[in-house]
Structure 1
Amino acid sequence: MISVTALARVPALVRHSFGETVLRQANRAAMLDIELIEDRDCFIPHATMCDFLSEIERRTKEEHIGLMVAPYLTFEAYGCWGDYVLAGDTLGDAIRRAASTIGFHSCGEAIALSVEEGMARFAYFSAARRSPAYLHIAAGAAGVMLDLCRSFAPPGWHPVRIELDIARPRAALSFEETFGCPVVFDAPAVAIWFRASLLGVRRPLSSRRRLMTVDDLARARLDPASRGDLIGVVSAQVWTQVLAGTVSLDAAAHALALSTRTLQRVLQVHGTDFRSLGNVIRAKRATELLRGTNATVTDIASELGYSAPANFARAFRKATGLAPEEFRRGLKRSAL
């Protein structure tokens, strides 16, 4: 699982470069509207991200999607995790924050920082390395890592070199032109090499972030431990679907590389089923919207993917014992 913010800005860049039709086809391949949720603190399987990128490549014949978008990707777009990392006092502190909290952004990945003879190595190990779409992911990751370094570095800074854990492509020179430094391929990880003195550089006062602790991050994002079992993974996927407005058993099974029958059987073993799990998560989101917004019941029903307000009201009453209007009136009375 990985935060959908890993794809932040990519849909808009795809639309600008290749058109609305290609973006729509990529969303269909991912079975999720990525643009609708790209700024939300929710998670998608790595496979969904790979399906999205692979479909763009298939439709456009562009071999280097990741390299094309790399200069436009920023750490700031990574939501609350990006905010937490950028709140570090120095670049070294920011990288160490990223390394110690990577679980709040993705599962099965790692970040490392080492110093050798006055040179710093900032490395990223991706869980999607075996994916056919990894060429795009590696280039994009290098772009985001460079952006983090440049958030602290002086104007005009360039790294000593970049290492990528992909085979050397035919268009290797275009990587050096994009990143502005030598690029080494067939490396053990994506890594940025730079002079270690940069680790102690503080971020310019004009771009300082608000104070943020790991507790703030934990409250904003799902605890990594809860994504370590299948129910946690399925729940995270359903939550993402709820935010996107369409809850689908087929889409969840596809994202998790399971057949629908297998997913249903596993959920039954855990004493639930997909419909019940979806209703619980929809009800939770509905209570948040009823409590925290002035949206009408009709708008909330539409936001949650119900075909009619009556269907939403029926499901909400079954989950909470109250109609949506009764729930909201109760909140108003308790506030008096």
Structure 2
Amino acid sequence: MSSGIAELRDSGIMIQLAYQAMLKMDLDVAAIVKRLGITPELISDRNARTPHAAQPVFWQVLEDESGDADIGLHLGEHLPAYQGQVLQYLFLSSPTFGDGLNRSLNYQRLLSDASQSSLGHEGDEIYIRVGTATDLTSSLRHLSECMVLGLIQFFQHVTDNAFRPSRIHFSHQKPSSDAEHQRIFQCPVIFEAAEVRIYFDQSLMAQPSSHAEPELLQLHEKLASEHVAKLERQDIVSKVYKVFGEMLETGQVSLDDVAARLEIKPRTLRTRLTEAGTNFNQLLANYRCNLAKRLLAGTDESIDEIVYLTGFSEPSTFYRAFKRWTEQTPVEYRNQRKSSQ
């Protein structure tokens, strides 16, 4: 895989919904949030995107802290309805549930860069294949169970509770007891299937939306397209950050160096960063600043080592830059962070 591949990220709304579910379940949210490094800013930022690769850590921490072997099921059971987002509006303004479902699949990247869900047909049933570009959906039991419950709950919400799954397929092994699955899903649940699927009667595709509005549908589809286009423009930022991580320790990193690593022309890189609302120097400064903060607050690395790791040639240059970024010296920042932990 080349270094130009952008890191797959999930919508921040996923963390926010999970956070609300954890509060409902009376879990030790403070301990979970601390272990995961989730900041108050992330919880409140509806435009945030989180690394998809962090899912295994997220679910392991939740299982450890809750002691619940069915934490994915129970978190999914307590998830608030997915509301106030463009995909919800797209569903509601579509003439039927089936039309909204087909339209939303075109914009599933709004939920996750990794999402690759699709529709299939078997006899009198339609199924939704719940899949991703990674194998995490099939390999992480908690993730797949929570995702399926979240989707069912959302479908019930947009169909005024008419949606009912006829059966569920999971690809993970059957747990020692599936009593909770039977209680929560209230339909046959199949384990060790080839794919994660939600089956339902095909008649539901024609279920009319009580909020259907052609003019609003056009507006919502335009809005969804703009959101996806914005994410695509941001891809270049993720790619550049990835290259920074690979090259920074070698010394000064230039736009020409990064463009060469991405196999594009420097002029093209400059243009695409402008379209994403940023520029090379700003990205490099942001990356160095965030890296320096993480190293100062979370490690015992010496200042000299942090100077090297952040790509500065001289400690004095690093000190001036850090003071400009934070209005603190590196030592002041480290001491403040250590005393607050």
Change (3 A) 1:24 1:123: same
Supply the AA of the counterpart residue of 2:152.
Answer: L
Look up the match of 1:264.
Answer: 248
Supply the AA of the counterpart residue of 1:15.
Answer: L
Look up the match of 2:205.
Answer: 199
Gaps of 5+ in 1: 236-255, 282-309, 315-336
Look up the match of 1:277.
Answer: 286
Deviation larger for 126-135 or 46-55? 126-135
Change (3 A) 1:263 1:171: farther
Please tell me whether the aligned partners of residues 125 and 199 of structure 2 are also in contact (alpha carbons under 8 angstroms). Answer: yes
Q: Which of the numbers 89, 106, 115 marks the counterpart of 2:121?
A: 115
SS of equivalent residue, structure 1 residue 44:
strand
Query: Equivalents in 1 of 2:247, 2:91: separation in Å?
Result: 36
Query: Equivalents in 2 of 1:280, 1:59: separation in Å?
Result: 32
Deviation larger for 260-269 or 158-167? 260-269
Q: Does 1:53 align with 2:37?
A: no
Change (3 A) 1:153 1:218: closer
What whole-Å deviation, never above 9, does each CA across 1:229-248 have from its counterpart, x for those lacking one?
5x33577xxxxxxxxxxxxx
CA RMSD of aligned residues (A): 3.9
Deviation at 1:84, TM superposition (A): 2.9
Q: Which of the numbers 224, 232, 252 marks the counterpart of 1:225?
A: 232
Please tell me whether the aligned partners of residues 145 and 192 of structure 1 are also in contact (alpha carbons under 8 angstroms). Answer: no
Deviation at 1:94, TM superposition (A): 1.8
Change (3 A) 1:7 1:145: same
Please tell me whether the aligned partners of residues 27 and 52 of structure 1 are also in contact (alpha carbons under 8 angstroms). Answer: no
Supply the AA of the counterpart residue of 1:262.
Answer: E
Look up the match of 1:213.
Answer: 220
Q: Which of the numbers 54, 59, 63 marks the counterpart of 2:69?
A: 63
Length-normalised TM-score, structure 2:
0.63
Between the two proteins, the alignment pairs up a number of residues equal to 262
Deviation at 1:146, TM superposition (A): 0.9
Higher alpha-carbon Rg: 2
Length-normalised TM-score, structure 1:
0.64
Deviation larger for 7-16 or 104-113? 7-16
Deviation at 1:217, TM superposition (A): 2.1
Please tell me whether the aligned partners of residues 165 and 185 of structure 1 are also in contact (alpha carbons under 8 angstroms). Answer: yes
Deviation at 1:140, TM superposition (A): 1.1
Q: Does 1:15 align with 2:26?
A: no
State, as a whole percentage, how many aligned pairs show the same letter.
Answer: 16
Please tell me whether the aligned partners of residues 5 and 38 of structure 1 are also in contact (alpha carbons under 8 angstroms). Answer: no
Change (3 A) 1:233 1:144: farther
Query: Equivalents in 2 of 1:34, 1:128: separation in Å?
Result: 28
Change (3 A) 1:278 1:87: farther
What whole-Å deviation, never above 9, does each CA across 1:121-168 have from its counterpart, x for those lacking one?
122103453379821211111112212331354657532101122221
Please tell me whether the aligned partners of residues 138 and 190 of structure 1 are also in contact (alpha carbons under 8 angstroms). Answer: yes
SS of equivalent residue, structure 2 residue 164:
coil
Deviation at 1:116, TM superposition (A): 2.5
